[in-house]
Amino acid sequence: DIQLTQSPSTLSASVGDRVTITCRASQSVSSWLAWYQQKSGKAPKLLIYKASSLESGVPSRFIGSGFGTEFTLTISSLQPDDFATYSCQQYNSYPWTFGPGTKVE
């Protein structure tokens, strides 16, 4: 199985801040990495797929980058609605796996 790690596990930030979250894979997943946002008690929401492609309807302040084993999700200017947990997921090979999540507070 491909293991995903995320850093940091928790991030304290303020509205307007530029926020960066890192996801690392135990082996290459090429570009087949997605990012989800999850709010408490709610289902995950797809933000980014194929490492850097923005899902329809997602604000352009969410920026994904990376290839192979290292990926980042950047929120260019944190908004009040962005306080949530962010998880990466690889879908390069089965079993698909998720990262442990990063809470932005």
Q: Which stretch binds another protein (CB under 8 A): 18-26, 59-67, 69-77, 87-95?
A: 87-95
List 20, 45, 54, 61, residue binding another protein (CB under 8 A): 45
- In the chain, the amino acid numbered 92 is N
Q: Which stretch binds another protein (CB under 8 A): 12-20, 35-43, 66-74, 76-84?
A: 35-43
- In the chain, the amino acid numbered 29 is V
Contacts with 67 (C-beta within 8 Å, 6 or more apart), sequence order: 30, 31, 51
Under the criterion CB under 8 A, does residue 97 sit at the interface with another protein? yes
Going from the C-alpha of 80 to that of each of 14, 46, 52, 95, the distances in angstroms are: 9, 18, 23, 34
What is the binding site for another protein (CB under 8 A)? 1, 32, 34, 36, 42-46, 49-50, 53, 55, 87, 89, 91, 94-101
